Structure 1
Amino acid sequence: MNSKVEQSKAAGSAGDLVKYVLAVLLVAAGVFAFYWFGQWPAALRGLAVIGGLIAGGVVFMTSAKGAQTREFLAESRFELRKVVWPTRQEAGRATLMIIIAVTVISLILAGFDVVIQAGVKWLLGR
């Protein structure tokens, strides 16, 4: 997160509102084209949806919320660089230990189930 204090702004300018509406309309146009042009090949209809999403995303990113989104993504990427990722061998060992632990716990729960089931049958006289 950003450590600087930001002043809260109003809900947004009229220009930003127009950009939001245009972005939504572009995405909706892509989805509309997908269904309206049903005779087109599926790949071309899929490209219409992708084109609408990209165009809507580009328009959104030029707004105030888009700037905040870009800043958030840049800061997230910066934080990801600090992460120490496990080696392939460490990840394999951890995965094996998790599989063993889940198996043991499931067997213990199955044992509890058998004991409780036998106890209920004994109490009910079956």
Structure 2
Amino acid sequence: MREQYAVIKILNEQEILINYGILDKAKRGDKLRIIEPGPDIIIDGHFYGKLDAIKEYIEVTTAYDQFSICKKIVRKQSYALSPLSMLKTTYSYENMNVDATQIDKDLKVPEITPIAIGDIVEKY
């Protein structure tokens, strides 16, 4: 199981504080995710984990002893030489050939709610 921390303060729409700091070995660039807890996945008595929804991926930008400032960082590639050299990748999803009688209609990923104080944060 991953170590879990929590959102302890929301500074603005770009910065949050989490209770993960230098004393926990936090450093700039650490990658974290804020989750919405989901149901346990137990099959034939074996626990596989939880089907959590991921609210956001964030990074530590400044670490203090007992907390860190975290932001969502978006990296974009751009080609400065020529607009013709810009490449765009698109993704789509296609249905798989599955046995429809085995689809679990009760198991759902939890609905994602806005980030709030107390939300669970995991290092990944």
**TM class, shorter-length:** under 0.3
Structure whose CA Rg is larger: 1
Larger relative contact order (CA 8 Å, sep ≥ 6) = 2
Question: Greater strand share, 1 or 2?
Answer: 2
Question: Greater helix share, 1 or 2?
Answer: 1
State the TM-score, normalizing by the size of structure 2: 0.20
